[in-house]
Structure 1
Amino acid sequence: MEREKLQAWRDWVRAELGSCVSFWLEHGMDKEHGGVYTCLTRDGKVFSTDKSVWMQGRCAWTFSYLCRVYGKKQEWLDAAKSCLDFLEEHCINRTAGDRLYFTVTADGKPLRQRRYCFSEGFYAIGNAEYYGQTGEREHLERARKAYQLVYDLNHGMPDPTGMGPKTIAETRTGRALADPMIFLNMTGVMRRVDPEQAALYDRYAAECVHDIFAYHHKPEMKCTLESVGVNGEFQGDFTAGRVVNPGHDIECSWFLMEEANRTGDAALHKKAEDVFNFAIEAGWDKEYGGLLYFIDCKGLPPEAYEHDMKLWWPHNEILIASLMAYRDTKDEKYLEWFFKTAEYCKTCFADDVCGEWYGYLRRDGKPTEPPCKGSTFKGPFHVPRSLIMADVLLGDILEG
């Protein structure tokens, strides 16, 4: 272990976290309508006033989690509460089983509803984390209700919006990795703040772990697939069945490592390491550095136009997963992945002039033009979460 090098990176992580948090508090918070704007230019100007519902819940979680790790600050609690109030007042489709919208206008008029239930998931963890800091029971009850709704929707409940599946079910149906992996992370948040229902969360977490490895993880193919058949069948005759999202897999790996650490399951931890190793070895761009967004498990052309771009969040997940794996195993290869990825992030994503990180890079590591710091999908979540967790993990390693 290189203590001085690790301490230097910890200092950098803390400085970047401060820059990131300040950027969003200064430029993102909507003082007129409440909530957060996330479509921001490099220097923080709003380029679209439409609001991402995902980001209202994620922002609430982030600022509440900052309070949990670093101590309560009224500015952070106020930011979280603003997003939660905006969600409650404007983002819930009360006529459709309390499903949440995907996007709304600046003042909260509904724009778009989507099939998948990630808006509900981020609403749940935002309310749960805020409850953990304030003890305000109404937020726990909201979190519990939304959490159970996500579970039910993922397990056969008819969608109250009336929206059917993306494909005609009689022709093709299957499973998506995002469902069990995101629910596993949600479950970890819920268990931490709501020990009253620990038995329920333990049961649901075990189901998530089962589904990931029974259906999506393919050790014989050295990958974890985004989409599979209902029984985990490899659907290799069409592009969607061959998609690997290395960043998703790496994010999934640390969700699994956390669960393995909680349960003391060394075998699960080893399988989680395999998920990480397969993804980063296949997805790391050996010519330009950085992690490719999508790859085809058979080496065939990916369908997504953006497949060879470098996005911010997969690199955030590498920082977390590599440090967690190194802390838990002391295997130096994980530390080397952290150093390599941190250097790439410092060189390509971080912006010493305006603060925060670029969201989207071309394959060669240069920001797309004009560059942005936020979008419908990028807000105050992945970057600050990774920096908070990297700070804590580096502390564990240095003190261990």
Structure 2
Amino acid sequence: MDLTKLKEAQAWVKKELEISADFWLKYGMDKEHGGVYTCLDRTGRLFSTDKSVWMQGRCGWTYAYLCHVYGKRDEWMEASKSCLDFMEQYCINREAGDRMYFTVTADGKPLRQRRYCFSEGFYALANAEYYGLTGEREYLERARRAYELIWNLNNGLIKDPTGMGPKTIPETRTGRALADPMIYLNITSVLRRCDPEQQELYDQRAKECVDTIFKYHHKPELKCTLETVGPNGEFMGDISAGRFVNPGHDIECSWFLMEQAKHTNDDALRRKAMEVFDMAIENGWDKEYGGILYFVDCKGFPPEAYEHDMKLWWPHNETLIASLMMYRDSGEEKYLDWFFKVLDYCKTYFADDQYGEWYGYLRRDGKPTMPACKGCTFKGPFHVPRCLIMVDTMLSELIARQ
């Protein structure tokens, strides 16, 4: 381990984190209605005032987590609470069992509801993290209620109160989505840290998520982890959706699993998590241009999504976290090699030295899609700062070992 190289990496990471956190405070926060705008061009100029509910929760969590790691700052606490207040006032469909909207207008009028419950998940994360800072029980109770709602919906214990029903006609085809157990596993990890009163519940739910991922989705015989499988984990190889691999998702899943392995001191789970990563990076790394492809087909057929060969910011964020975590916990040099390889790619192609923050979307050759954006409905103050915070923390741990 090259100590100088680690220190240089950490210095760059700290600089980028400060830039990212300031970028969204300067250009994203809505001083009139509250909450955060995320549709920003390269320079930070707003190009749509519609608000992503995912991003209200993610932004609320990010600035609270910054306070958790680096100490409270007024501007971070205010940004987090602004998003929490906006969600509470505008983003919850009270007439549909407290399901949350997907997008709303600038002043909070509902625009779109979606079937899946990731808005509720990011709401739970934000409220739990804020409770961890303030001790105000109201935020903890909000997080707990959302956490239970997601569990009940994901496991078919209640009917979706929106009445939207499944995406496909269940009599014809039904299945399982990797996103449900993997995202719930991450939510569980955050709530367990912030809400130790319910650790027994969180430990049990986390175990069930891990069991689901490996029982149904992870396919060593196919050398991948599948996004969509049949109800009993069946490989649906005759349709594109059944062969669909999202390498970034699998890599994100791998570090969620690593966190659980660390919590339970489970070396077998740690090894399985590393296998998930190994397969995903092998499938996803573009051997011609570098970077991680967005989607691949596990049988080598043409992926259905047009954007399959683009390079998006968040898989690279997840890879930085996962590779460094695996090096920290295993000591295997190949993971440190991956960390520096992906870090070099991010420095070269994603980071914008002129205007700050990271480009969201690159073409396969690494050039930004034009006009370039720094945020949209799906990109805001979350993946980049979360990655940089976690990498900074792990680099400190590694440097301290020397």
With the length of structure 1 as denominator, give the TM-score of the two structures. 1.00
Match of 1:271 in 2: 272
Counterparts of 1:393 and 1:173 in 2: how far apart (Å)?
40
Show CA shifts across 1:53-87 (max 9, x none): 00000000000000000000011000000000000
Deviation at 1:15, TM superposition (A): 0.3
Question: Runs of 4 or more off by more than 2 Å in structure 1?
Answer: none
Counterparts of 2:249 and 2:25 in 1: how far apart (Å)?
28
The correspondence of residues 232-251 of structure 1 with structure 2, limited to 5 A, is 232-251=233-252
Match of 2:192 in 1: 191
The correspondence of residues 324-339 of structure 1 with structure 2, limited to 5 A, is 324-339=325-340
Deviation at 1:398, TM superposition (A): 1.1
Counterparts of 1:74 and 1:136 in 2: how far apart (Å)?
17
Match of 1:381 in 2: 382
Counterparts of 2:99 and 2:84 in 1: how far apart (Å)?
15
> What letter corresponds to residue 81 of structure 2 in structure 1?
K
Equivalent position SS for 2:95: coil
Q: CA-atom RMSD, angstroms?
A: 0.4
Show CA shifts across 1:1-28 (max 9, x none): 0110111000000000000001000000
The correspondence of residues 140-155 of structure 1 with structure 2, limited to 5 A, is 140-155=140-155
Match of 2:368 in 1: 367
Show CA shifts across 1:185-226 (max 9, x none): 000000001011111101100000000000000011110000
Match of 1:139 in 2: 139
Is 1:342 aligned to 2:343, yes or no?
Answer: yes
Deviation at 1:319, TM superposition (A): 0.4
Counterparts of 1:206 and 1:18 in 2: how far apart (Å)?
36
Match of 1:14 in 2: 14
Match of 2:182 in 1: 181
Show CA shifts across 1:332-376 (max 9, x none): 000000000000000000000000000000000000000000000
Deviation at 1:282, TM superposition (A): 1.0
Match of 1:309 in 2: 310
Match of 1:47 in 2: 47
Counterparts of 1:134 and 1:309 in 2: how far apart (Å)?
41
Equivalent position SS for 1:37: coil
Counterparts of 2:392 and 2:332 in 1: how far apart (Å)?
19
Deviation at 1:136, TM superposition (A): 1.0
Equivalent position SS for 2:307: coil
Counterparts of 2:252 and 2:294 in 1: how far apart (Å)?
13
Counterparts of 2:306 and 2:165 in 1: how far apart (Å)?
26
Counterparts of 1:351 and 1:266 in 2: how far apart (Å)?
39
> What letter corresponds to residue 171 of structure 2 in structure 1?
E
Counterparts of 2:12 and 2:223 in 1: how far apart (Å)?
34
Equivalent position SS for 2:399: helix
Equivalent position SS for 2:306: coil
Counterparts of 2:226 and 2:33 in 1: how far apart (Å)?
41
Match of 2:80 in 1: 80
Counterparts of 2:190 and 2:312 in 1: how far apart (Å)?
25
Equivalent position SS for 2:111: strand
Counterparts of 2:289 and 2:19 in 1: how far apart (Å)?
27
User: What is the total number of aligned residue pairs between the two structures?
Assistant: 400
Gaps of 5+ in 1: none
Match of 2:225 in 1: 224
Match of 1:94 in 2: 94
Counterparts of 2:189 and 2:286 in 1: how far apart (Å)?
32
Is 1:288 aligned to 2:289, yes or no?
Answer: yes
Deviation at 1:399, TM superposition (A): 1.2
> What letter corresponds to residue 223 of structure 2 in structure 1?
K
Counterparts of 1:36 and 1:26 in 2: how far apart (Å)?
11
Match of 1:357 in 2: 358
Aligned-residue sequence identity (percent) comes to 73
Counterparts of 1:229 and 1:312 in 2: how far apart (Å)?
30
Match of 1:111 in 2: 111
Equivalent position SS for 2:356: coil
Counterparts of 1:215 and 1:368 in 2: how far apart (Å)?
36
Match of 1:128 in 2: 128
> What letter corresponds to residue 46 of structure 2 in structure 1?
V
Equivalent position SS for 2:308: coil
Equivalent position SS for 1:204: helix
Counterparts of 1:228 and 1:375 in 2: how far apart (Å)?
29
Counterparts of 1:237 and 1:221 in 2: how far apart (Å)?
14
Counterparts of 2:71 and 2:256 in 1: how far apart (Å)?
24
Match of 2:212 in 1: 211
Match of 1:64 in 2: 64
Show CA shifts across 1:133-183 (max 9, x none): 111110000000001000000000210000011100000000000000000
Counterparts of 2:163 and 2:87 in 1: how far apart (Å)?
22
Counterparts of 2:168 and 2:297 in 1: how far apart (Å)?
21
> What letter corresponds to residue 294 of structure 1 in structure 2?
F
Deviation at 1:252, TM superposition (A): 0.2
Equivalent position SS for 1:220: helix
Counterparts of 2:378 and 2:136 in 1: how far apart (Å)?
29
Counterparts of 1:228 and 1:390 in 2: how far apart (Å)?
32
Is 1:23 aligned to 2:32, yes or no?
Answer: no
Match of 2:394 in 1: 393
> What letter corresponds to residue 360 of structure 1 in structure 2?
Y
Counterparts of 1:17 and 1:219 in 2: how far apart (Å)?
36
